[in-house]
Structures are given as C-alpha cells and as structure tokens.
Structure 1
Amino acid sequence: MNFNFLSPVSDAVLAHSELLHRQALGRQFKIHSEQNGIPDLDGINIAIIGVSENRNDINYIGTSLDFQDIRKALYSLFPGNWFTQIADLGDILPGDSVEDTYFALKTAVSVLVEKQIIPIIIGGSHDLTYAIYRAYDNIQPMVNIVSVDTNFDLGDSQQPIKNNSYLGKIILDQPFNLFNYATIGYQTFFNPQEEIDLMDKLFFEAYRLGDVSKNINVVEPVMRDANIVGVDLKAIKASEVGLKQSYSPNGLDGKEVCAITRYAGISNKVSSFGIYEYKNSKDDDVTEMLIAQMIWYFIEGVNCRVQDDDFRNETQFQKYNVMVDDEDLIFYKSLKTGRWWIEIPFLPNVNNKLKKHTLLPCMHSDYLDATNGTIPDRWYKAYKKNSF
C-alpha cells in the first residue's frame, strides 16, 4: 500500500530525538523521515499518525495544527517492559477538501487495521472519528465506538458534518454498521435534553463524569467491548491543560484520563485509538506532556493484553446462571483474569448482524446485582438493540 499522502516527521523533532537517552522512545520508534521514507511495517504492532485537519471544528478560524511538541514529549518518555514494535508514520495534512482528508485517513486506518496494526490518531477535530468508522466498512459487520467526551456530538444530522454532530452522521449514513456507542465522562449541562433522550431511546450508553470519577472501574467493561476509542481533550478539566486548551473547570483529571486510556489499551477488541481537539500553543508544555502520557498508557495497556475469552474450553471459565424476572441470565468468569461476561440471548427470528456476538463484558457487581433481582443495565440495552 502506498502511503504517499503521509508527511514525514519534521527534522526538528528528529534532531531533538538524537539528543535523548538511548533507551527513550524516540530512539526506539521506527520513524517516517524525509531521508529514509516510510518504515517497513513488517512486525509493527502500533502506528502513530497525526491528522492536522480541523476545518469542521465549529470554532474554526483558520488556525493550522502541528504535532511537533507532542512528539517531543512522547519521544522523551521511557518505555515500559514492552514487546510491541511502534512506528511513527508522520502526518496527514489537510487535503484540498475535508473529504480528501477523510479519504486519506480512512485509507490509512483500513490498511493498518487489516494488517492488525493499531493506529493511534492525534487530531484534529473530533469529526475525524467518522472517517475512522467508515474505515471498518469492509472489515467487520458491526462496530462499537467509545468516546471520552463532555458531549454526545449528535447534533443536527441534516446539516454538514461538524465536530459537534459527527455521531448523527454515523447513525444515519449507510452502511449501518454501528451497534453500540458509549460516552464516558459526559456533563449534563453541555447536552440538550433531546440528545440525552435520544441516547436513551437508541439504547446507547452514557456515563456521567461524577459516576466515572467515583468508580473508574465502570470504564473497563465498556472499553473491553469497544473497537474504536476516541478521547476529546475537552473532557479534561481546565486545570490539567494549558490555557488555550482549557474548556471547563470540571472534567477528568490527568490520572483519571490516563487510567481510561490504559483500559482502552488492555481491551483485546480495541483496534484504533484517537486523541482529538488538540490546539497547539507556544506557551503550553503541559497539554503536550499529558497527551504523551495518555499515549504511553494506551501502549502500556496493549502490552498487558491477555486472551481470556475462549469460552469453548470449559476449564478456562466458571459459568453462573441467575434467574431474574423470568430471564435466565448466564454469566461467565475468566479463571485467568477474573473478568466477567454476560450472555445476550440469541434471537433466531431477528435479521441482524450480531448473531455471533453473544457475550457482553460486564463487572462482578453486575452479577451481584442480578443475584439481588436487578437486571444489569448493559445487558438490557444490548438485548434491546439486538431485538431491532
């Protein structure tokens, strides 16, 4: 595949990298440079791509993006005890139109995912998620998206796509490949009531900021079921980022967002990850370092992945049956990791694309709730979506 639409990492970043400790990430990555071209992808597990496209930002005023400072921060970090091979493929620059940029991003993500290479996208406005979603059209029949965001970004799907309305386009545009959408860290006062009601009507999942901060573990089963994960930097509270990046006094702190990105990395299903709404500033080193650490924790998570979902081998799991309101809920617990799943009943008379996907990640607390007569909310929403 020819990635001739990718711009190489700048010489300034490469020169900075040469001064780093020999064990720093910048000395370990395979890097797309002007001199050496795009690195060979054989053996690569993770590929970093910057996408400097923000023209569909509702607040766009002609500002351009570059990711030099993020790369400098990331390159300066030291790896963990990692087995993954990582490449930095450089940047996708804005095309003649936003659709041109979408096409380039869709092409890159599609090729990487088919090669089982996880792309890490640094953006750019959050509507880039639409192009990433479309990259899966010919890869898998149904897709789950998780967005760490203050907003649902449903917007008015009848209007041209923007960073606050891309989800509406994902829902309504054919082919219809979206099964579940989950928002983590949303704040009610940033969302119109009709969007909150629509999320509920579509049986999508929404986790308020307070619930996530109170128990960060609620994120884990949601991430375990995700294919595409995106983090909107507006979800991070203002005190954690630079002045130009700040959005709200309330939001996730640095430790929480890094824990969330680690959960995304640990998920065996997550095959693309992105960080969006970056606004570079000459006076800001904090935002770049936080983004670098978010990427570090995602890669750390990938290196901690454990295959524990072979439910054909009964020696690998325990099975529990719980009757709740005439429903026979079937739970599975991995003996390797202690993680839990719940079975979604197979509906033979329903013509949907989910016939092979019958197990839903859940928490131990969901099993305990079921034993006390409460049907888990995740199970109910998945069952209802599977009934369409």
Structure 2
Amino acid sequence: MDLNFLSPVSDLVMAHNELLSPQALGRKIKIHSIQNGVPDLENVTIAIFGVLENRNDVDYIGEEFGLDEIRKSFYGLFPGIWNTTIADLGDINKGERVEDTYFALKETVRILIKKNIIPVILGGTQDLTYANYRAYDDLIPMVNIVNIDAKFDLGDSTKPIKNNSFVGKIIIEEPYNLFNYATIGYQTYFNSQEEKDLMDGLYFESYRLGHVSNDISIVEPALRDANIVSVDLTSVKGAEVSLRQKYSPNGLDGKEICAIARYAGISNKVSSFGIYEYKSSKDDEITSMLISQILWYFIEGVNFRIKDDDFSDERSYQKFITLVESQELVFYKSTKTGRWWIEIPFLAEVNNKLKRHTLLPCMHQDYLDACNNKVPDRWYKAFQKNSV
C-alpha cells in the first residue's frame, strides 16, 4: 500500500510517549515511528495524520509549524470504552509546490477510505479541504461537505485558491461532485452580502453562531448527512485558545465544538474529518489540548455509530405521512435510535442527482412543524436542488 508520502512521528514525541501511563491513548494506538515504520493497518478504524502545508494562507509570510504539541496532548488522554483501533500515520510534509501536497493528501485519503478507514487530518490551512474533497472523485457520485467556520469561504473562484476561497473552487471546478455544503457557526459580520446571497441561491445551508449556541442539536441532521467535515479553528472564540490562535471574541466554545465533533463521529456517513488553521506557538498547551479533545469526541462518536439508516426492514422504523400545502411529506423514525428522516420525492422529468439522497436526515421538530403546515427548511432546499 502506497503511503510513502508520510513522514514518521518525531523521536521527541515518541520519547514523551514512553513516560505516559500504560492506560493512556498514546500507548494504545499504532504509531508511525522512525524505529518501526508505517504500522500495519489491519483492523484500523481511524487513521490520524498531519499535513504541514500553509502556503495558501492569505496572510502567509513563510512561517513553519509543527504538530508535536497536539500529539503530546492527545497521547496523554485516556480512551473511553472504545472498540476501535486508531493509528497515527505521521505527517505529509510540504511538497515542492502546494499542488504536490494536495496530490499527496488526495491519494492518502483515497487509499484509506478504500480500506474503510476514516482519515482524520490535522492541517495547516483549510484549503486542504479541497484536496480532501477531490479524493472522492472516483469513490462516490455526490459529496456533502460540512464546514465549521465563522466564514463561508466562498471567495472569488476566478482567483488562485486560498484558505478563504476554497469552497468557490469546489463549486465551479469539474467534475461537479458537490451536492450540499453547510456552514456551522458562521458570524454574519465576517461574510459579505454577495456570499450570503450565493449561499441562498445555491440552496446551501448555513447555521448562525447564535442559533447553534442556543440549541446545538439543530446541527446534528446536517452532520448526519455529511461525507466530509472540516473544522476551522478560527470558529472557536478567542478566550478558548492560545495567543497566536485568537481570532474573534465571539465563536463556539470548547463544549460546543466538542459536541459538534461527536455528532460528526456518530454520523454513519462521515468518512473523513479535518481540523485546520492550527498555528503552533510556545504558549500552546490550551489550543493543542482543545484539538486533542475535539479528536477524542470524534473518536467517541465513531465508537457509538449505530446502523439505523437501512429502511429495508419495516420493523426498524416508523413511518409518518403529513400534508403541507397540498404536498405530501413522508417521515421515517428509527426505532433503534429515535433519529428522523424525511423523504425527498423524485422528479421524473429531471436528470436526477439524488439517486442516493432520497432520505434526508431531519429532526423531530421538522415533523412537528410539518404537522402545523410549515415546510421544513432542509427539505425545501434539497427539493429545490433536485429541481434545478
């Protein structure tokens, strides 16, 4: 298996790992080290690796960064009652050009997903999500991306790709594989009206920071429907992170970002997860510990995945039908987990992109709203995309 893009975890981190409790995570996971080489990936569920690329940062001035502090924090945590095998595959170093790094990331993600391993990417800049997305080109027909971010990152797609404009590139570049894009935790004052209009015009989803903080559970259906989840650390409020990492006084707090990571882990569909925009510094214990806890909650979620979205067995769900504005809406509720879905009707005359998207994750509240003659927002947007 060709994973020769990856360089091993540093001897410094490995030496630190030897001092940890035998019960600590670092002593229980498979690690790519100089001594032992790339670990055997047999039975591995989750593979963590770093990508040391930040040259497409709009503010790039040549600074380097490393992930040793994150590894030290993560290795020192204790696992839950988990049955997943985790590997740390080391880092993808900067290529000769940024495109070379993209290629290495794309190939690594593609290889891991084909082996039913979930890649967890610790990144430099968030434009790496573009390479993560391109890994799916020959894997599945349509891709859903969820971005935890203060900004939409649509940018000007006619200009070269940057960490604040990578979504624009994803939308306009062939092959067109993007079905849905959702931003969680956006802050209105960081986004132009043009970007907001474009999000609405493409029927993409956006969850404002205030709404998310008011009720974190509203984002669960979007994460349940995602293939790729990308976390921008600038979505976290400044008080929660170290000096170099501070971006905005408002943002998600530590508990909220960890809850979102757990929702992403529980989703049966999420097959890659990335944390980006990390800026290492000497006073960095707080940021590296937060990232470690985000990782921990994602892994915790993966451990509690329940196959509840197979609707071929009638005993595994309840079906509810309601009428809204002369439109029949069909809801399904899993008897295993209590999670809800809504059916998107096919439009026979349309060249349909939705072959695999007939059932859309939703909330119990969407069913209650439909009973009160209100069309659920997620259903409306998916229906409109299906009609285009």
TM-score (norm 1): 0.99
SS at match of 1:351: coil
Counterpart CA distance in 2 for 1:165 and 1:206 is 16
Partner of 2:314: 314
Counterpart CA distance in 2 for 1:113 and 1:208 is 31
Partner of 1:9: 9
Give 1:207-286 correspondences, 5 Å limit: 207-286=207-286
Partner of 1:297: 297
Q: In the comparison of the two structures, how many residue pairs are matched?
A: 388
Give RMSD over aligned pairs.
0.6
CA contact 2:334–2:340 (8 Å) conserved in 1: yes
CA contact 2:69–2:284 (8 Å) conserved in 1: no
Counterpart CA distance in 2 for 1:283 and 1:355 is 50
Counterpart CA distance in 1 for 2:328 and 2:191 is 36
Counterpart CA distance in 2 for 1:347 and 1:84 is 41
Cα distance per residue 1:257-283 (max 9 Å; x no partner): 000000000000000000000000011
Counterpart CA distance in 1 for 2:4 and 2:199 is 39
Aligned: 1:46 with 2:46:
yes
Counterpart CA distance in 2 for 1:51 and 1:130 is 13
Q: Unpaired runs of 5+ in structure 1?
A: none
SS at match of 2:129: helix
CA contact 2:45–2:116 (8 Å) conserved in 1: yes
Counterpart CA distance in 1 for 2:309 and 2:168 is 33
Name the amino acid aligned to 2:320.
Y
Partner of 2:346: 346
Partner of 2:79: 79
Deviation of 1:65 (Å): 1.4
Cα distance per residue 1:193-217 (max 9 Å; x no partner): 0000000000000000000000000
Aligned: 1:140 with 2:161:
no
Counterpart CA distance in 1 for 2:334 and 2:2 is 42
Cα distance per residue 1:276-298 (max 9 Å; x no partner): 00000011210000000000000
CA contact 2:346–2:352 (8 Å) conserved in 1: no
Deviation of 1:70 (Å): 0.0
Name the amino acid aligned to 2:31.
I
Partner of 2:156: 156
Name the amino acid aligned to 1:274.
G
Counterpart CA distance in 2 for 1:349 and 1:42 is 46
Give 1:42-191 correspondences, 5 Å limit: 42-191=42-191
Counterpart CA distance in 2 for 1:101 and 1:233 is 21
SS at match of 2:44: coil
Deviation of 1:40 (Å): 0.8
Name the amino acid aligned to 1:316.
S
Q: Unpaired runs of 5+ in structure 2?
A: none
Counterpart CA distance in 1 for 2:155 and 2:339 is 36
Aligned: 1:22 with 2:22:
yes
SS at match of 2:58: coil
Counterpart CA distance in 1 for 2:4 and 2:315 is 49
Name the amino acid aligned to 1:238.
G
Deviation of 1:68 (Å): 0.1
SS at match of 1:244: helix
Name the amino acid aligned to 2:193.
Q
Counterpart CA distance in 2 for 1:121 and 1:284 is 19
Counterpart CA distance in 2 for 1:386 and 1:41 is 39
SS at match of 2:244: coil
Deviation of 1:352 (Å): 2.8
Deviation of 1:116 (Å): 0.8
Counterpart CA distance in 1 for 2:13 and 2:197 is 46
TM-score (norm 2): 0.99
SS at match of 2:23: coil
Counterpart CA distance in 1 for 2:220 and 2:104 is 31
Name the amino acid aligned to 1:246.
K
Name the amino acid aligned to 1:104.
A
Percent identity of equivalent pairs: 68
Deviation of 1:110 (Å): 0.4
Deviation of 1:341 (Å): 0.2
Cα distance per residue 1:352-382 (max 9 Å; x no partner): 3322320000000000000001000000000
Deviation of 1:103 (Å): 0.0
Displaced runs of 4 or more, over 3 A: none
SS at match of 1:45: strand
Deviation of 1:348 (Å): 2.0
Give 1:197-208 correspondences, 5 Å limit: 197-208=197-208
Name the amino acid aligned to 1:97.
R
SS at match of 1:260: helix
Deviation of 1:254 (Å): 0.3
Name the amino acid aligned to 2:361.
P
Name the amino acid aligned to 1:110.
R
Name the amino acid aligned to 1:384.
Q
SS at match of 1:229: strand
